[in-house]
Structure 1
Amino acid sequence: MNCPVCGGDCIEDAPALFARLPHAFAPCPDCMGLTYDKRAPPPDLAPAEPCPSCEKRFIDDVFAQIWTIMADTGDLSRDDPLAAAGTPLVHPGIALHRPPYLPPRSLVLLSRSVTEESARRLVAEVPEIRGVVRNGDGVPGVIDTGTDGNGRRHTLLAGCDVRADIFDTPAGPIAVYKQQSVIHIEFPHGQNPKILATYQAIRKRSPRTFVDACSGAGTLGLAGGVLGVPAVICNDAWYAAAFWTACNIGVNREALGVEGVQILHSIADLAERPVATEPVLVAVAEGARDIRVYHGDLRLLPPLLPDTVDLTAIDLFEKDDREKLKEITQFWIAAVGGDVFIP
C-alpha cells in the first residue's frame, strides 16, 4: 500500500522487512565512526561522510550533523549538549545491543527544540533522516474516552514519520507500523512482557475469539493471530490506532494466514472523529483467521461482539488508575464474559 502520510513506498510487507534485519544497522568492514560525549556539544568538525561501500553512518556522526544544523538555526545554543538535539527512533525498530550504523532514511527525529526551518534542512541535508517530529506534552492519543474530543498529537514538521517496530513472538516476529507523531512510542527491548502475557493467556485458555480492546497499533491483536487464535477483534478509541492496526494486518497477512485486509475508512475519514464513542468497523480480514478492527469506546463494543468471547486484553494507558481499571474490567466481565487479563 502507498504510505498514507507521504504517498511513498514507506510500508513494506513483513517478510521483505524481516529480510533486511540481520545486518540492518551493522557496520561493513569499511565503516568508521566517532563516539561523542552526549553530555557535551560535539566537536567543531565537518560532517562525517556516509561509508562509500554501504552508505551507512555511525549514529553519533549523524547526531553531530543534526546538532550543528539546529545550532545554526538557533534551535540550540552552542553550549547545549549533543543529547539536546532530540530522541532517535530508528526504522525498523529492533532491540539493539550496540549503537547503530544508520542507512539512508532510517531515522525519525523526535525533538522538543526543533523548528520548521531546521526540520526542512534536516530532511534535505541529513541522508539518514526520514522525518522530523516536534513533540509536545504528554503521549499522543486519547486524553479522555467518551468525549468525542480531539486527543493529543505531536507535530510532523518535515518528511515522513511512518516507521515500523519489530516484535518477537513465540510464533515468529511481527511488524508494527505507525505514524510516530500520532501513536505512542513502543520501542522493542528484547522480550516484550505484554506479548509474553498474551502468549501465556492464550496458552492457558486456548480461545476461539480474542479481543484486544485497547489495541494501539495492533501489537497484541497481531500476536494473538500469529499464535493461532481463530478470531481476533481489535478496537481502539483513537483514530490513528485503529487505522494502523488495520494496516498492520495487511503487512503481516502471510503470518496471519489471511489473503489481505479490506480497509473501510481512510485515516482522513477517521481523523474527522479522532476520539470515537460509538464503534465503527474499520477493517475486515478473512482466511485462516477472522479479524475485525473497530474504532470506538470499548464500553460500547459488546453488542457488536460474537456471543462467545473467550479472552480479552484490556491495556489501558491509565494503568495507575486502579479504580478505573477495576470498573472497566468488572463491566467487561459482566457484559461480555470470558477471561480478562491486563498485559
Structure 2
Amino acid sequence: MHCPVCGGDCVTDARTILAELPGRFAPCPDCMGLVYDKSSPPPDIDTAEPCPSCGKRFIDEVFADIYRVMAAEGDLAGTEPLAAAGTPLVHPGFAMRSAPYLPPRSLVLLSRSVGERAAARLVDEVPEVRGVVRTGAGRPGIGDTGAEPQAYTLLAGCDVRADVFPTRAGSVVVYKQQSVLHIEFSRGQNEKILSLEREIDRHRPETFVDACSGAGTLGLAAARAGVPRVIANDAWYAAAFWTACNIGVNREFLGIEEVAMHASYDDLRRRPIARDPVMVATAAGTQEIEVYQGDLRLLFAVLPPEIDLSALDLFEKNDGRKVEEITGAWRARVGGAIFIP
C-alpha cells in the first residue's frame, strides 16, 4: 500500500508481517552486542556496527548511537541516563522474550527532548531508525468531539508502524501513524481483546459495533472471530483512516473479498474531528465491515436496527457521570448488549 505519510511501501499485508515475525528481531550466529546500563550515560566506547552477516544490531548499541547524536546536537547534556534519549517503538511490535536485534528501519523513536537537527541526523546516520517523533503533553487523539485534539510532531522519516495482537482465531496486524495515535503495544495478552472474546462467547452477535475504534483492533478481532457484520467508528480522522487501512491489511484472514475506500487520508485530515458520521470504507464478502468517522452519540443515525453487541472504549473511563450518560443514551437509541473494554 502507498504510505500516506512518506509515499513509500511502509504498509504490507498481514500474512507477510506474520511470516517474518519468528526471525524478525533474532540475532544470527555472528551477531554481537553489549548490554548497557539504562540508568547511566553510555560508556565512552565505540558502538558496534550492524552485523555484516544479517545487518542487525542489538538495541542497546543503537540507543547509544541515538544518545550521542542528541548530545552532539545539544538536545542532551551527556550526563542523563541512556533511557533519557526517548522511547523505542519497534516495527512490528509484538511480545518478545528478549531484547531485540534491530534490522534496518525498524525503530520509531519517541522523545520529548529531540530537536529537528538531531532527528534529521538520526534518520540519515542510524540505519535502524525509521522515524523520529517529538512528544508532548497528553497523548495523541481526542477525548471528545468538543475537545482540542492532541498530536505529537513527526520531525524526520516515517512514523507508520504496526503492532501484532494475538486472538483465539489468529493474530491481527494493526498499523498506525504513531504521532497521531496513542501507543497500544501488545504484551502477549491484550485485556481488551480478551474482554471482547468473552462478550462474543456470551452473546454470539450477528452485528458488532466498535464505537471508538482507535486503529481498529477490536473490530478486526471481532471479524477474525467470525462475527458476520462489524461496524467501526471514531471521531478522530487518523483512527478512522487506519481502521479502514487495517481491514485491507488483514483481508486475507477475514471473510471479505474487497475493500472500498470512500475517503482519502487527505480528505479526512482536512476535517480532523467529525460529528455527523461519514462513511470512510466498506468491505464485502461472507462478512461485512463498515468504517465511519463521527461522534459516537450520533452514530445511531446510520446503524442498522438490530445491533447485538457494542464496545464503548471511551477515553475518559474515569469520568463516571459521562460514561453513564453516554451508555444510557446508547441503550435508548441503539440497544443490544454494551461493554466497556
TM bracket, shorter-chain basis: over 0.9
Map of 2:246 onto structure 1: 248
Aligned position for 1:235: 233
Amino acid at match of 2:180: V
1:259 deviation in Å? 1.7
Asked if 1 retains the 8 angstrom alpha-carbon contact of 2:143 and 2:316, the reply is no
The question of 1:184 aligning with 2:182 is answered: yes
Task: Give 1:264 shift.
Answer: 1.1
TM-score, scaled to structure 1:
0.98
Name 1:19's counterpart in structure 2. Answer: 19
Q: Which residue of 1 aligns with 2:211?
A: 213
1:78 aligned residue: 78
How far did 1:44 drift? 1.4
Counterpart residue number, 2:3: 3
- Report the counterpart of residue 66 of structure 1 in structure 2: 66
Letter in 2 for 1:315: D
Other-structure match for 2:45: 45
User: For residues 123-162 of structure 1, what are the structure 2 equivalents within 5 Å?
Assistant: 123-145=123-145, 147=146, 151-162=149-160
- CA distance in structure 2 between the partners assigned to 1:267 and 1:11 by the alignment: 14
* Unmatched segments (≥5 aa) in structure 2: none
**What are the residue-to-residue correspondences of 1:249-328 with 2, within 5 Å?**
249-328=247-326
| Paired residue secondary structure (1:20) | helix
TM-score by length of 2: 0.99
Please give the alpha-carbon distance, in whole angstroms, between the structure 1 residues aligned to 2:327 and 2:143. Answer: 19
CA RMSD of aligned residues (A): 0.8
1:64-119 CA-to-partner distances (Å, cap 9, x unmatched) read: 00000000000000111100100000000001211111111000000000001000
Shift of 1:143: 3.8
Q: CA separation in 1, counterparts of 2:83 and 2:277?
A: 42
What amino acid is aligned across from residue 171 of structure 1 in structure 2?
A: A
Q: CA deviation at 1:257?
A: 1.7
Separation of aligned partners in 2, 1:35 and 1:191: 27
Equivalent position to 1:329, from 312, 324, 327: 327
Alpha carbons 1:207, 1:311 under 8 Å: kept: yes
Please say if residues 143 and 315 of structure 2, whose CA atoms lie closer than 8 Å, have aligned partners that are also in contact. Answer: no
- How many residues are matched? 341
- Whether the 8 Å CA contact 1:150–1:274 is kept in 2: the answer is no
Report how far residue 150 of structure 1 moved: 5.2
CA contact (8 A) 1:141 1:152 kept: yes
Query: Of 164, 167, 188, which residue of structure 2 is paired with 1:166?
Result: 164
* Deviation of the 1:260 alpha carbon: 2.7
Q: Retained in 2: the 8 A contact 1:150–1:275?
A: no
Q: Which amino acid aligns with 1:133?
A: V
